Amino acid sequence: MRQMLTAIVRRGQCRPVMEAARRAGAPGGTIFYARGTASSTILAALGLGDGYKDVLVSFMDEEVLDKAIREIRGGHAKGMLLASPCIEGDEEVPMDCKWRLVEVICEEGYSEDIMAVARKAGAKGGTVVNAHGTSTPDDVKFFGTPIVPEKEILMVVMEEDKADAVVKAIEGMEVLRQKGRAVMFTLPVSRFVNLS
């Protein structure tokens, strides 16, 4: 089964992480710039004290994933690695995952409120990636150029037994009930590795 490897590390550490994954046979990946939302205690424990992060996403076969994790752990990156199975066709979702990744894509400015609700429901912290929507013919134009809405992607990793309460709490927010403001989905996490 193919896996999606996500590395959330200190700013500037994704290139060495990707080089380690490539040595193991990974084909490449995509790097995003992000910021953390975790409390300073958690950030300190993970070695992510400055709050600025890089996020790497790479897809690979399971055999390559095992080698990539070993290679990455042998380096000096501080942060975490997550692996999520990629379900293809009629494959079954693995039910033995101990972790879950909750992702919320929302309009800019809502991620802090969503994270506050997630914390009250048991989440410890998350990562926010800045993004933007795609333009459509209905978008407002400024001198003929579509004004594309700014977005944020909130990523929160938690133990499987806490995830349902967090998802339910976020679902109750008004922003998720308003069309086009936010969407939430979850992914199983088959592996969670602390890089410290």
> Among residues 53, 88, 123, which one ends one of the domains?
88
pTM reported for the whole predicted model: 0.82
Query: Would you write out the chain's pLDDT as a tens digit for each of its 196 residues?
Result: 889 999 999 999 999 999 999 999 999 899 999 988 866 565 556 555 558 899 999 999 999 999 999 999 998 899 999 999 987 766 666 667 899 999 999 999 999 999 999 999 999 889 999 987 766 666 666 666 656 678 999 999 999 999 999 999 999 999 988 887 889 999 999 999 999 7
Tell me whether residue 39 is in a domain: yes
> To the nearest 10°, the Cα dihedral for 31, 33, 39, 40?
100
Q: What domain range is 153 assigned to?
A: 99-189
Can you tell me the distance from the alpha carbon of 160 to that of 98, in angstroms, rounded to the nearest whole number? 5
Domain containing 172 — which CATH number? 3.30.70.120
> Among residues 68, 88, 108, which one ends one of the domains?
88
> Among residues 63, 88, 113, which one ends one of the domains?
88
Summarize pLDDT for 7-25 with one digit per residue, the tens.
999 999 999 999 999 999 9
Same domain for 84 and 104?
A: no
